[in-house]
Amino acid sequence: MPTCQYFGQTDCTAPTFGGTSVPVIPGPHENGIEHYLLLGTSPLDWAINGFLWLLVIRFVLWPRIIVPLLDWLDFRRQQTVPTVCYELTPHHTTPVPAEAMVELFKILHAQYGPQTYEAYLLRRKECMSCEVLSTRAGIRYIMRVPAEKTEAFERAISSLQHAMQFKQVTASVGDDAGNYTAVSVFRQARSFAYPLRRHNDLAAHDPMTYLTSALAQPQPGETLAVQLVAAPYRDYRRAARMRNALLKGKEPWALGYPGVLSLCGMVLLGIYNVVVAILRLFGGRWLPVTRERGNGMAVATPASQAVRDSMIDKLGEPLFYVDIRAYVSIRDQRDGVKRLRGIRSALATFDEPGYQALETGTRMLSPRVSDAVLRRQFQRRLPSMVMRGANVLAASEMASLYHFPYEPAVTTEGVARAMSRLLPAPNALKRHADDGAFSLVLGENVYHGERTPVAWLLTSGNGMCMLSGARAMGRRPCWNTVLCRISGTGTAWR
């Protein structure tokens, strides 16, 4: 009679044992695993097998099959989401501080986070892309956002800098015929808990200088770009657990082992602690002696404490999934390879030696297939198919990678800048426009999408007019226009 290793019994109550029904695993149960993974008939069988199946689903099926499948379905959905591209042009004399860019990404993180429980369960994301695009027309800053979030985005950009100019554009990047085209992807070298180097004092050193220099001076028909596709980080509970572990004094190397590795690590660590406790109880002098402080945690050196503090600060900020890509479309292949190397060197300013760096990602498929997939993702500004391979950056790191040139620290030629200021209409002008009290409309003031007519209230007592302005600013054509408008109203002037 076949034996079953389930609690050492010689028979088994499982319906698949001995061929009594259609077996999932053919033959007798030669070991306990074959029995445990098959549903039995007794309540104990159901309890044990149900618990084991929950472990399999949680640590094997969920992270390895279900999560990638949901990410792939959301990747397909992202291709049909209507979006709008904006070209942002900062003023040449009004710099944007680093703190302002950090707050901007915090606001965008709050706007694009999961809004419904259904979106949270299905792992649906609201993505935005930030690009530094260099063509023969100059170096421009492009941001793409979902069409339904345009109003909130415009208000956030207006709050960033009052002189910031933005407009909706059709910024499509296509492969030019006959050019050498390549896309490089950059990944974090270590766990995302280790931060990149921060650049807070942009007046002393702006890393955007190296990046814009690597993208500058393209020839006609050539395109260079650096693209960041970001979406709010979902697993905030994991980040909170890692931060709490660091606050309790745990070592950084013990963080970031998901799924089965985490469970196995917990079991092995528990066994190790039990063995060490037993050996210490019997006075084992061969055990290593560690320096301890009052709470029993290992003493941290100043260097390790600085790294720990930077990790705690990063995990306490809003986090983003970020795909970092570099794109070149150059006529000569040698020049294209040199351009890619220049962009990689420019991104080296964000490396933290010994802890974190941005490295070129490895390709799992053939070069031809990988290049086609990466070009498609870049041109359509799509995130990764599976978010497990994306970088995880804090709002401050996003602001370091993507910010406007800090004048006068950045002197790269070709960077788009606004030379004229945008000013809102005075409140009195808005009030008269709302009342409709104007009898002579001279023009229109447009300030961040708000249109206010610039008009003149003509009355019998309002007989004085002064037109001021600098030289060569068009005072005479403006005055001729005013006179023509006045003559058309039928108002008598003395």
Query: pLDDT of 316-353, one tens digit each?
Result: 999 999 999 999 999 888 998 999 999 999 999 999 88
> 53 or 11: whose pLDDT is higher?
53
DSSP per position, 191-222: -TTSPPPP---TTT--THHHHHHHH--PPTT-
Domain parsing of the chain, residue ranges: 6-62, 81-233+318-401, 238-292+300-309, 427-489
pLDDT > 70 fraction of the chain, expressed in percent and rounded:
72
Average pLDDT over residues 276-297: 57
Which residues in 314-353 are b (16+ Cβ under 10 Å) and which e?
A: bbebbbbbbbbbbbbbbeeeeebeebbebbbebbebbebe
Specify the pLDDT at position 129: 93
Could you give the 3-state DSSP secondary structure of residue 463?
coil
Angstrom distances, CA of residue 106 to CA of 145, 191, 275, 459: 15, 22, 47, 51
Residue 292 amino acid letter: E
Q: What is the DSSP letter of 176?
A: P
The answer to whether residue 148 scores a pLDDT higher than 60 is yes
Specify the pLDDT at position 24: 45
Specify the pLDDT at position 21: 44
The answer to whether residue 217 scores a pLDDT higher than 70 is yes
Q: What is the per-residue pLDDT across 151-162, written as a single tens digit (0 to 9) for each? A: 889 888 888 877
Average pLDDT over residues 427-450: 69
Q: Average pLDDT, whole number, for the chain?
A: 78
> 348 or 368: whose pLDDT is higher?
348
Angstrom distances, CA of residue 310 to CA of 192, 253, 447: 12, 15, 40
Lowest mean pLDDT across 327-341, 421-435, 455-469: 455-469
Q: What is the DSSP letter of 58?
A: I
Angle, vertex CA 206, rays to CA 205 and CA 212, nearest 5: 140
The band of 314, judged by pLDDT with boundaries at 50, 70 and 90, is very high
Specify the pLDDT at position 3: 56
Question: Is the CB of residue 131 less than 8 Å from the CB of residue 142?
Answer: yes
The band of 477, judged by pLDDT with boundaries at 50, 70 and 90, is confident
Specify the pLDDT at position 141: 92
Torsion of CA 169, 172, 173, 174, to 10 degrees: -150
Angstrom distances, CA of residue 416 to CA of 128, 213, 228, 369: 21, 14, 19, 35
The residues near 410 (Cβ < 8 Å, ≥ 6 apart) are 206, 208, 209, 212
pLDDT > 90 fraction of the chain, expressed in percent and rounded:
19
Average pLDDT over residues 172-201: 84
Question: Is the CB of residue 180 less than 8 Å from the CB of residue 332?
Answer: yes
Domain 81-233+318-401 - what CATH class?
alpha beta
Lowest mean pLDDT across 12-21, 31-40, 67-76, 172-181: 12-21
